[in-house]
């Protein structure tokens, strides 16, 4: 019998019993079949996953709850996540940083997510759950990235983020770690640095007017001795032009011009959040308040998301049908069915129990040959 996940986890100096890993395999299988994180709903599909119609609903629920209780207390969630990320890491290009929030009753849940671009799909590679809502401080973000860099080599990668992720110390830290950055700025941010040597002349406003007329303008600034470029771009989005006629970016990629053109890719993480929520697994239905349990279940959902994306890409390469593209009234051409949805549908139809899941994962390992190593 093939046990690809057990074989991988068993190399981590024997910290985890095979029964624990098997329960994770069961959880991944039932998440795929049920497409929900609500344990009370998942229990109904557990007999299908285990191919045992005699299982009682109450015992199924207790098994799932025990799996969460035991596994969430360790770092197994992170190791399983990294094991899944190893399928795609060698092909990850850009990085996206964003946060998503929801409430469990009156309890705020804030999840900061670092995603990698895999064939045009934003795939979470690392995340953390926080107890508070709202924007994270620079020190919290730097701490988050330091932890992410323990597990992934991010130097040389381009990081895209919106204006929620700004700050002098933050920009300098990313630059010092060799991370290329493209981050949207707020209006008039660094105006004083742009005008610093202009003897009363409003150079900032001249650049803004130039961007409105010609579409683009730029200026170099220094933050505590580190040079960055500010890019001014005319906003040609008709839905946003009135409030933001010019949009502003900061980058440390001084050798390349017009980096702001790549910012549109950042929206891929918004689609990712949609797939993890209402269009996929409804992670907002997680019925736990404790952070370690939240992180464990979110990680398991991300693993299934990665498997679905891999399946969708494999299927997309085989299928060249023109019907998979759709032209909208705005003129935009996009996939009629996303890679994720395609893969999820195919997986649900074929990987309906734990044995089928093992077989599929084993085939992925043979095809992709993961190159990442676990941190001991």
The structural domains of the chain, with segments of one domain joined by +, span: 4-87+286-368, 91-269
CATH 3.30.1200.10 for domain 91-269, yes or no, is no
12-67 residue pLDDT tens: 445 667 777 788 888 888 888 888 888 888 888 888 888 777 878 788 778 888 87
Model pLDDT, residue 314: 84
Beta strands in 144-268 (DSSP E): 158-161, 180-185, 216-223, 226-234, 246-251
Choice between 351 and 92, residue whose per-residue pLDDT is larger: 92
Q: State percent of the chain over pLDDT 70.
A: 88
Which residue(s) pair with 218 in the sheet? 231
Confidence category of residue 121, pLDDT binned at 50, 70, 90: very high
Beta bridge partners of 169: none
Place of tokens 């007329």: 213
Q: For residue 125, what pLDDT is reported?
A: 97
Highest mean pLDDT among 290-299, 335-344, 360-369: 290-299
Tell me how far apart the alpha carbons of residues 101 and 110 are, in angstroms, rounded to a whole number.
5
Task: State pLDDT tens for residues 131-163.
Answer: 887 889 999 999 999 999 999 999 999 999 999
Taking the C-alpha atoms of residue 118 and residue 81, their distance in angstroms, rounded to an integer, is 16
Lowest mean pLDDT among 25-34, 145-154, 171-180, 347-356: 347-356
What pLDDT, on a 0 to 100 scale, did the predictor assign at position 298?
A: 92
Number of Cβ atoms within 10 Å of the Cβ of 187 = 13
pLDDT beyond 90 at 225: yes
The torsion of the CA quartet 337, 338, 339, 342, rounded to 10 degrees, works out to: -40
Going by pLDDT thresholds of 50, 70 and 90, the confidence category of residue 74 is confident
Q: What number of CA atoms fall less than 13 Å from residue 8's CA on the CB side?
A: 26
Give 259-283 pLDDT, tens digit per residue.
999 999 999 999 999 999 888 788 8
pLDDT of residue 7: 57
Angle, helices 268-276/291-318, rounded to nearest 10 degrees: 110
2-11: pLDDT as tens digits: 455 555 554 4
Q: Residues in the chain, how many?
A: 376
Average of per-residue pLDDT across 164-168: 95
Reported pTM: 0.88
Whole-angstrom distance between the N-terminal and C-terminal Cα of the chain? 27
Q: How far is CA 212 from CA 216, 256, 307, in A?
A: 7, 22, 44
Cα 177 from chain centre: 20
């Amino acid at each position: 019998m093939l046990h690809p996940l057990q074989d991988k986890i068993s190399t981590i100096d024997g910290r985890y019993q095979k029964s624990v890993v098997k329960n994770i395999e069961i959880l991944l299988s039932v998440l795929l079949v049920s497409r929900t994180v609500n344990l009370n709903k998942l229990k109904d599909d557990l007999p299908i996953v285990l191919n045992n119609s005699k299982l009682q609903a109450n015992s199924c629920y207790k098994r799932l709850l025990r799996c969460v209780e035991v596994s969430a207390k360790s770092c197994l969630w992170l190791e399983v996540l990294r094991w899944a990320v190893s399928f795609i890491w060698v092909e990850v290009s850009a990085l996206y940083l964003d946060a998503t929030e929801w409430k469990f009753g009156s309890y705020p849940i804030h999840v900061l997510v670092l995603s990698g671009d895999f064939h045009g799909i934003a795939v979470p590679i690392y995340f953390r759950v926080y107890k508070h809502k709202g924007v994270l401080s620079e020190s919290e973000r730097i701490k988050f990235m330091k932890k992410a860099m323990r597990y992934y080599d991010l130097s040389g990668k381009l990081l895209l983020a919106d204006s929620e992720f700004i700050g002098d110390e933050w920009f300098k830290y990313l630059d010092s770690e060799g991370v290329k950055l493209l981050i949207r700025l707020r209006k008039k941010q660094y105006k004083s640095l742009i005008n610093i040597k202009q003897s009363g002349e409003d150079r900032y406003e001249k650049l803004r007017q130039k961007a409105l007329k010609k579409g683009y303008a730029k200026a170099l600034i220094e933050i505590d001795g580190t040079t960055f470029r500010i890019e001014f771009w005319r906003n040609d989005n008709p839905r946003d032009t009135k409030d933001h006629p010019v949009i502003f970016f900061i980058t440390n990629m001084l050798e390349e011009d017009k980096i702001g053109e790549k910012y549109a890719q950042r929206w891929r993480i918004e689609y990712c959040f949609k797939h993890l929520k209402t269009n996929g697994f409804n992670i907002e239905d997680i019925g736990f308040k404790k952070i370690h349990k939240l992180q464990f279940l979110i990680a398991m959902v991300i693993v299934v998301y990665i498997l679905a994306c891999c399946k969708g890409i494999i299927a997309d390469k085989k299928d060249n049908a023109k019907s998979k593209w759709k032209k909208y009234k705005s003129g935009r051409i996009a996939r009629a069915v996303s890679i994720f949805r395609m893969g999820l549908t195919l997986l649900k139809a074929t990987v309906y129990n734990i044995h089928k899941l093992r077989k599929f994962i084993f085939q992925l390992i043979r095809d992709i040959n993961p190159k990442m190593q676990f941190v001991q």
